[in-house]
Amino acid sequence: MREVAIIGVGMTDFGELWQTPLRDLYAEAVVSCLKDAEIERDQIQSAWMGCMSSGLFNHQEHLASILSDYAGLRGIAATRVESACASGGAAFRAAYLEVASGASDFVIASGVEKMNDGADATFCLATAADQEYEVYHGVTFPGLYAMIATAHMHKHGTTYDMLCQVAVKNHKHGAMNPKAQFPMEITTDTVKNAVRVAEPLGLFDCSPVTDGAAAVLLAPVEVAKALGKPLVTIKGSGQAVDSIALHDRPDPSRIPSVGMAARKAFEHAGVTVRDIDVCEVHDCFTIAELCCLEEIGFYEAGQAGGATLAGETALGGKMPVNTSGGLKSKGHPVGATGIGQIVEIYEQLSGLSGDRQVSGARLGLAQNMGGSGGSSVVHILEVK
Amino acid sequence: MREVAIIGVGMTDFGELWQTPLRDLYAEAVVSCLKDAEIERDQIQSAWMGCMSSGLFNHQEHLASILSDYAGLRGIAATRVESACASGGAAFRAAYLEVASGASDFVIASGVEKMNDGADATFCLATAADQEYEVYHGVTFPGLYAMIATAHMHKHGTTYDMLCQVAVKNHKHGAMNPKAQFPMEITTDTVKNAVRVAEPLGLFDCSPVTDGAAAVLLAPVEVAKALGKPLVTIKGSGQAVDSIALHDRPDPSRIPSVGMAARKAFEHAGVTVRDIDVCEVHDCFTIAELCCLEEIGFYEAGQAGGATLAGETALGGKMPVNTSGGLKSKGHPVGATGIGQIVEIYEQLSGLSGDRQVSGARLGLAQNMGGSGGSSVVHILEVK
């Protein structure tokens, strides 16, 4: 396999962008990515775009055609991939494999989701769970993650203060991110006093409904070296699926697909969790951040909550997590999230993160997850 | 890039399978594929599944998780891809690239669509066109292909008898295919006397609404050689996108994405159209078969209709086209169609096609298309 590097990134603002159609979101991210890479459109050979549910959100499928067309990329190979909220991570892996194979040199990996378009977002998102065995009986995602939280609290003594601190910490990071949907600091009281969504989770335990797009451009390392920029390479890639339904898992306090994907990525990269300097994990709900940190191996089961309260996962702590603001503060346009994470890690490794910079970060990890963990994708990036 | 071979195939019946849920369709195709390949489930590392619109047809996204889970494949990497009716071809290309890259040895490429599930199929399918600039104004796919047919007739003198013969020929082939949805012969009068759908196209110019799934297993050539079966390799792969909207194309009688994808595949394979012994093309409407044959280069523009009337594209003719029965007779479960085409070419090259066998076929081509040609995928297979 050829070594692959990221040579440019682009991202829209994340937020309620009522005036911006799906195709414009994509085009804005791709055009800014190509500008960042200083690569012309006619050099692009292929594109992979992650999107969860443009069919239900926007009554538009066939994204490979419509988005490439609108971005001025007719003639390229292009494919949309979907793995619910892990669609962006899956698109990144597909693009990585294409460049690694030698089939193409310049390949765009992107993600896009237009969630504010009139559709019922809760219904659309629920199609990432088992429609016949979960959703039919009335459960949606806040309910599923509330069950995970309850099981985690029961098994490990995890407290609601620990969950609150995930939200407080991520909003503190997001307040420094000009592209974040909710760039304001909050307090533990904000989280505690918010309306309950599904006990024990309240409004501030939940990531928002968001429009947005992000894109990165991949190329062989030899091409990247000639550009004279920081050389950020893809050192490890891992992906895994598990049972889609929570009730089919032996332990509802755990999300095994995250650990399976992480182990594949670490093995591929030849590094361990202790080598990672900065990471983005899939905090669709506050409890999810704790579960993901434990599954990846940053902490033993039941230990991530205490570490979060102690400030270890905040900027300045020993393992900064979700420096972008995470899904909670930056926003969660579901198909775009996985690429948004890659953008953050790329900028951290390139020293471009401004006030959010993790000093001396050399190795970063991005973990993206679908549904209640039915699928996960983990990538490890390195700056050389 | 590593050389890649197909080492097993599986396919459900195509038809109105009201009693068979989406996940069962997938599992049946995958289980029969693994049985054909004599490979155990725990050897599978990855899967790519093409599906156009399970969100709209079945209110179920996150197929990578739910389908792998139900097929007993937890733990693998799995990703759904979507490119409207070219989703199957796109999934095949993604799986091919993964094996070619060296990342994985045993990778499933599949396609599945459950179209008879209560949803409005015409509405769901129309999301493959430009929702805001075509569908909003009332056009759906029969209307779009009727415009292509009218333009083709106007420009080239193509007659309705020529279109009728596409349907008659494909039904004659399909009558020999035990998995076909409509395995019966028809006459020109059947086509002419059928109810009109969108002038000049009648009911028998249109492919049906179908449930079905198909799967193939890919592996490196070295692995395939050890199995002692006919060695069917992937010699060329090409994919291209074009404008999604018909009105954005300079000549509405043409479908340029097909030619772009075919030229990439021929260049990759190092062969020409004259080397092909058997092919499956995307006859979603009778006119589409003629356009595709011309774009690929089997015939000059405007010549495919006459050749069809002369019997050249029928079994026994000099260039047998859609020996499976094509989308018209075999059926068109949109996400599965591209893989169904690969299954037919694999069986032709392996000498397994029974009454439909093209004698001595060494090189086959499969061409899959999305929407009114907004995307196309072409693969060239060779038996060694």
| pLDDT tens digits, A325-355 | 999 999 999 999 999 999 999 999 999 999 9
Q: Contacts of residue A127 in chain B, CB cutoff 8 Å?
A: 55, 59-62
For residues B95-120, average pLDDT: 97
For residues A103-125, average pLDDT: 97
With a cut of 90, say whether residue A229 has pLDDT above it. no
Q: What is the pLDDT of residues B241-255, one digit of tens each?
A: 999 999 999 999 999
Q: How confident is the model at residue B219 (pLDDT cuts 50, 70, 90)?
A: very high
pLDDT of residue B229: 84
Cβ–Cβ of A238/B60 closer than 8 Å? Answer: no
CATH of A138-205+234-383, one of 2.60.120.620, 3.40.50.2300, 3.40.47.10, 3.30.1360.120: 3.40.47.10
| Residues of B with catalytic function | 85, 332
Are the CB atoms for A336 and A212 separated by under 8 Å? yes
Q: How confident is the model at residue A108 (pLDDT cuts 50, 70, 90)?
A: very high
Are the CB atoms for A11 and A34 separated by under 8 Å? no
- For B66, nearest residue in chain A (alpha carbons): A244
With a cut of 90, say whether residue B228 has pLDDT above it. no
Rounded-to-integer distance, Cα B165 and Cα B151, Å: 19
Q: Which is it for strands B363-370 and B278-280: parallel, antiparallel or unpaired?
A: parallel
Q: Contacts of residue A370 in chain B, CB cutoff 8 Å?
A: 62, 64-65
Rounded-to-integer distance, Cα A140 and Cα B16, Å: 31
pLDDT of residue A203: 98
The CA distance from A60 to the nearest CA of chain B, in Å, is 5
The CA distance from A117 to the nearest CA of chain B, in Å, is 13
Q: What is the pLDDT of residues B12-31, one digit of tens each?
A: 999 999 999 999 999 999 99
ipTM confidence score: 0.97
Test the A interface: residue of B80, B82, B295, B376 with most A CBs within 10 Å: B82
pLDDT of residue A230: 87
Per DSSP, helices labelled H in B139-220 are 141-156, 160-174, 188-193
Catalytic residue at A164? Answer: no
- Of B59, B66, B241, Cβ closest to residue A76: B241
pLDDT of residue B383: 98
pLDDT > 70 in chain A, percent: 100
Mean residue pLDDT across chain A? 97
Q: Contacts of residue B105 in chain A, CB cutoff 8 Å?
A: none
Query: What is the rounded end-to-end Cα distance, in angstroms, of chain B?
Result: 18
pLDDT of residue B94: 98
With a cut of 90, say whether residue A63 has pLDDT above it. yes
pLDDT of residue A228: 86
Comma-separated ranges of CATH 3.40.47.10 domains in chain A: 4-121+210-225, 138-205+234-383
How is residue B373 annotated by DSSP? Answer: T
Cβ–Cβ of B80/A79 closer than 8 Å? Answer: no
pLDDT > 90 in chain B, percent: 99
Length of chain B in residues, anyone?
384
Q: What is the pLDDT of residues B322-369, one digit of tens each?
A: 999 999 999 999 999 999 999 999 999 999 999 999 999 999 999 999
CATH, range B139-206+234-383:
3.40.47.10
For residues A278-284, average pLDDT: 98
Cβ–Cβ of A238/B55 closer than 8 Å? Answer: no
Nearest Cα to Cα of residue A75 among A108, A45, A102? A45
The partner residues of A239 in beta bridges, in order of sequence, read A377
For residues B186-215, average pLDDT: 98
Cβ–Cβ of B81/A76 closer than 8 Å? Answer: no
Q: What is the CATH architecture of A4-121+210-225? A: 3-Layer(aba) Sandwich (3.40)
Rounded-to-integer distance, Cα B366 and Cα B377, Å: 8
pLDDT of residue B230: 87
pLDDT of residue A246: 97
For residues B179-204, average pLDDT: 98
Q: Distance from CA of residue A150 to its chain's centroid?
A: 24
Rounded-to-integer distance, Cα B346 and Cα B10, Å: 11
For residues B130-142, average pLDDT: 95
Q: Contacts of residue A98 in chain B, CB cutoff 8 Å?
A: 97, 101
Cβ–Cβ of B62/A371 closer than 8 Å? Answer: yes
Q: How confident is the model at residue B190 (pLDDT cuts 50, 70, 90)?
A: very high
Comma-separated ranges of CATH 3.40.47.10 domains in chain B: 4-121+210-225, 139-206+234-383
The CA distance from A114 to the nearest CA of chain B, in Å, is 14
The CA distance from B1 to the nearest CA of chain A, in Å, is 6
Q: What is the pLDDT of residues A314-325, one digit of tens each?
A: 999 999 999 999
pLDDT of residue A250: 96
Cβ–Cβ of A66/B93 closer than 8 Å? Answer: no
Sign of the dihedral defined by the CA atoms of residues B218, B223, B225, B227, in that order: negative
Q: How confident is the model at residue A196 (pLDDT cuts 50, 70, 90)?
A: very high
Give how far Cα A14 sits from Cα of A113, A197, A344, Å: 10, 23, 13
For residues A64-78, average pLDDT: 98
How is residue B92 annotated by DSSP? Answer: H
- Of A1, A78, A130, Cβ closest to residue B241: A78
pLDDT of residue A43: 98
For residues A131-150, average pLDDT: 96
Mean residue pLDDT across chain B? 97
Rounded-to-integer distance, Cα B278 and Cα A177, Å: 57
Cβ–Cβ of A243/B74 closer than 8 Å? Answer: yes
Rounded-to-integer distance, Cα B231 and Cα A143, Å: 51
pTM over 0.95: yes
